[in-house]
Amino acid sequence: MARTGKTRLEVRNAAPSDVVGIQRLIARAYPELPGYTQGVLRGQINNYREGVFVAVYDGKIVGYCASMRVPAALALGAHDWDEITGNGFGSRHDPTGDWLYGYEMCVDPKQRGFRIGQRLYDERKALAERLDLSGIAFGGRMPNYSRLKRRLDGPDDYVRKVIEGKIADPVIGFQLKNGYEYIGILKNYLPEDKKSAGNAAHMVWRNPYVEADAPKEFRVPRGVESVRLATVQFQARAVASFEEFVRSVEYFVDVASEYRSDFVVFPELFTLPLLSFETRKLSPMEAIDALTAYTPRITAELNRMALEYNINIIGGSHPTRAEDGDIQNVAYVALRDGSTHAQEKIHPTPNERYWWNIKGGDSIDTIQTDCGPIGVLICYDSEFPELARRLVDQGARIIFVPFCTDSRQGYLRVRYCSQARAIENQCFMVLSGNVGNLPGVDNMDIQYAQSCILTPCDFPFARDGIAAEATENVETLTISDVNLADLTWARAEGTVRNLNDRRFDLYHIEWDTAHAHPDTLPVGPAPAEKHSPGGG
């Protein structure tokens, strides 16, 4: 009788759930180089999952390679690693690009006997052939160069001697055996790669099934990737109990679910009505401290509703006492798969710091959902463009902005900045604010809001960059369908292409990972949000 054995070695496209395993692999493979943060790895996968592969042996990730599509001028011209990869995130992926660019390759040093590097290279070639791309390019490491450079006339001389067989180099030799062609040196490609003295061998493989003189022109299909968004303009009202407050929240969750929404978002500090049934007058600090006691019950109820109503809930924000004793303003995101995620507010306002002694958070990252990665910027955070850019680099196409503003001026700061974030990042921004007042609660005397769903300003989107908006200062639910595929088209073929047109040769943002949340810290040496490619 025939028996079917369990597959022990598998090469497949990477998934966000592989991030921790990939991070540990890279720390094992390159202990002498800076590692990746989990956020950067999520960006590599989310920005072009089709070009990112893992090799898995007996359930353990033992190989990884990342690649993206870029135009020929970028792939074949002079560049450095930060510039071409978007500081490591792979955010310069261009779906109309005719070259596949490899920017990471590593194999577990204990598993080099299974030709894992060969398998990963074969997957890249198969992808390039399937898509009729012109070829593959990358900057390859030169690990023996630094040791031998005194005897050589520069890095080009080194590579020439490797090609002639006069010098052995394990990386370049492997690439030559796999049909790659050397076309020159990329100087200052990655300064952190000391063994290569910062240089890289510019290598290409030309697709034999595509005519070199007549490369294909690629267009982004105007497909449909529809997501339904709901934003709650929430009335701040006195309640008699925790249960009454939950009923007011659940009403909107129920309605949004009945309309088959994928997401529903509530405002910043939407839980402040829980202070309205306190039996004595509390000082601002006492009030916030009392509110933090509700955190476990709030998260449990959001989780229950997400599961019962089959909807992803962005739970505005709620004051929470952190493990170090600080009080932070935290958005809890309850997904319909049963998981709950937290995103702290990075920038407390002067008002929050003065009245409630709220401290800023340390980390901002995307949250993986069944509709792709999303981001959350709590109110004032929307006014700091580097935060939205970080989320989009990690793959976010929708960013939710729970806010709480008392005046029209305050609201417009959030509104105008969010519209700017939608344009400069070519993403959707979903705003949700409070209305009404809570006379017995300090700092909630009046509220002003006009919740809305904002889009980039280009032909596929609403004329004014507004998919939907509520009437000012009226409790309501606002719903709109958005097409994520329109963002892909706009980023590649739009009138302006803000993401791809960034000048990475002049500037980029680096996140200080020394203060990152523990689940974003890497295994191995402290990173600077970049890493050397392992030979392309």
Exactly one of 379, 417, 452, 457 is catalytic; name it.
Answer: 379
Of 82, 83, 64, nearest to 73 (Cα)?
Answer: 83
417 catalytically annotated? no
DSSP lists the bridge partners of residue 374 as 367, 398
Structure tokens at 265: 């978002």
Q: Strands 452-454, 340-344: parallel, antiparallel or unpaired by DSSP? A: unpaired
Q: Which amino acid is at 392?
A: V
What's the order of all strands across the beta sheet hosting 60-70? 9-13, 52-57, 60-70, 99-107, 135-140, 200-206, 181-186
Exactly one of 83, 104, 268, 344 is catalytic; name it.
Answer: 268
Cβ count near 415 (within 10 Å): 24
Cβ count near 405 (within 10 Å): 24
379 catalytically annotated? yes
- Residue 505's alpha-carbon distances to 43, 104, 153, 197, in angstroms, are 20, 20, 28, 20
Q: What is the DSSP letter of 114?
A: G
Of 336, 257, 267, 250, nearest to 301 (Cα)?
Answer: 250
Cβ count near 476 (within 10 Å): 14
| H-helix or E-strand spanning residue 108 | none
Cβ count near 381 (within 10 Å): 29
Q: What is the DSSP letter of 279?
A: S
> Secondary structure of 4-48 in the HEC alphabet?
CCCCCEEEEECCHHHHHHHHHHHHHHCCCCCCCCHHHHHHHHHHC
- Torsion sign, CA atoms 24, 25, 26, 31: positive
Of 139, 137, 136, 198, nearest to 171 (Cα)?
Answer: 139
The SS3 call for residue 243 is helix
Exactly one of 65, 104, 106, 345 is catalytic; name it.
Answer: 345
Q: In angstroms, rounded to a whole number, what is the distance separating the alpha carbons of residues 314 and 179?
A: 50
345 catalytically annotated? yes
- Tokens 């020159």 label which residue? 184
CB-CB contact of 268 with 329 (8 Å): yes
Structure tokens at 281: 């007058």
Q: Strands 428-436, 226-236: parallel, antiparallel or unpaired by DSSP? A: parallel
The SS3 call for residue 467 is strand
**All residues at 6 or more sequence positions from 176 whose CB lies less than 8 Å from its CB, including other chains:** 162, 163, 182
- Tokens 């267009």 label which residue? 219
> Residue 227 phi/psi, 5° resolution?
-130, 135
Q: Is 201 exposed, middle or buried (0-12, 13-18, 19+ CB in 10 A)?
A: buried
Instruction: Name the residues annotated as catalytic.
Output: 268, 345, 379
